[in-house]
Amino acid sequence: MTGEIIIAPSILAADFSRLGQEVAAIDAAGADWIHCDVMDGHFVPNISFGADVLKAIRLTTKKIFDVHLMIAPVDPYLEAFAKAGADVITVHAEAGPHLDRSLQAIRALGKKAGVSLCPATPESAIEYVLDRLDLVLVMTVNPGFGGQSFLESQLEKIARIKSMIGGRPIRLEVDGGITRDNAAAVAAAGADTLVAGSAVFRGESAAEYAANIAAIRTAAEAGRVPKLQDSSAQRMRVSDGGRAR
């Protein structure tokens, strides 16, 4: 699942009065995944939507549904969201006592398994479940509401998690305050999957959404360039017997 930059617009920022049309619009605008933030008013101080809404909008696109469950307890609801059309199901490390069991349950349902960390949660919380994971989601705002400002303190955490992942085929996703202005820094830290809500749903047309998605993607790809250049330079040095050019 790792590799190219993935842009996953969060429909939390969409116009809920025409949610199906909004999903179709970001599909046409070049979204790679559709990010679905599910909030229960208990684990986070907001309520968004449930499995029935997910099932309804599933009919509007064939893109991957990246479902972020900000609910606790979470295990009783995994099957409902799997049946509603989720492709990736992400649960919070903080949402229950048995994270390993939750991840096993997601995979048993035939879905990709992800884990999310709130800003105050250290990366050590996922150290012992890395081999259960297809995705790690780093929250760069405190979860619960869209439109918050990006927490730069999380950049170092992203880099440390990237190092923890190593060669495992795990996507590193970032969610919270992502814009074209910080996408480069996020990608440079190691993220390959960017969730953006307000920064995508500016404007009212698919063309405007497409321009927003493209701007975020271009910035993120530019953020990765220095590392790619460094790797190329290192390969040249090695092939040249270690001599600097």
Contact 77, 99 (CB under 8 A): no
Structure confidence at residue 114 (pLDDT): 98
Structure confidence at residue 104 (pLDDT): 98
Structure confidence at residue 245 (pLDDT): 28
Structure confidence at residue 149 (pLDDT): 86
Closest to 132 (Cα-Cα) out of 91, 95, 97, 173: 91
Closest to 91 (Cα-Cα) out of 34, 160, 14, 143: 143
> Dihedrals φ, ψ of 98, to 5°?
-130, 70
Contact 213, 200 (CB under 8 A): yes
C-alpha 152: how far from chain center: 17
Q: How would you list the strands of the sheet with 64-70, edge to edge?
A: 6-9, 193-196, 171-175, 135-139, 112-117, 88-92, 64-70, 33-39
Structure confidence at residue 226 (pLDDT): 56
pLDDT in tens, 94-120: 999 999 999 999 999 999 999 999 999
Active site positions, annotated:
37, 175
Structure confidence at residue 232 (pLDDT): 38
pLDDT > 90 in the chain, percent: 85
Handedness of CA 207, 17, 23, 106 (dihedral sign): positive
Structure confidence at residue 39 (pLDDT): 97
b/e burial code for range 22-34 (CB count within 10 A of at least 16 → b): bbbbbbebbbbbb
Flag residues of the chain having pLDDT under 50: 1, 228-245
* pTM of the predicted protein model: 0.90
**Amino acid of residue 30:** G
- Residue count (the chain): 245
What rounded mean pLDDT belongs to the chain? 91
* Token pair listed for 129: 């479940």
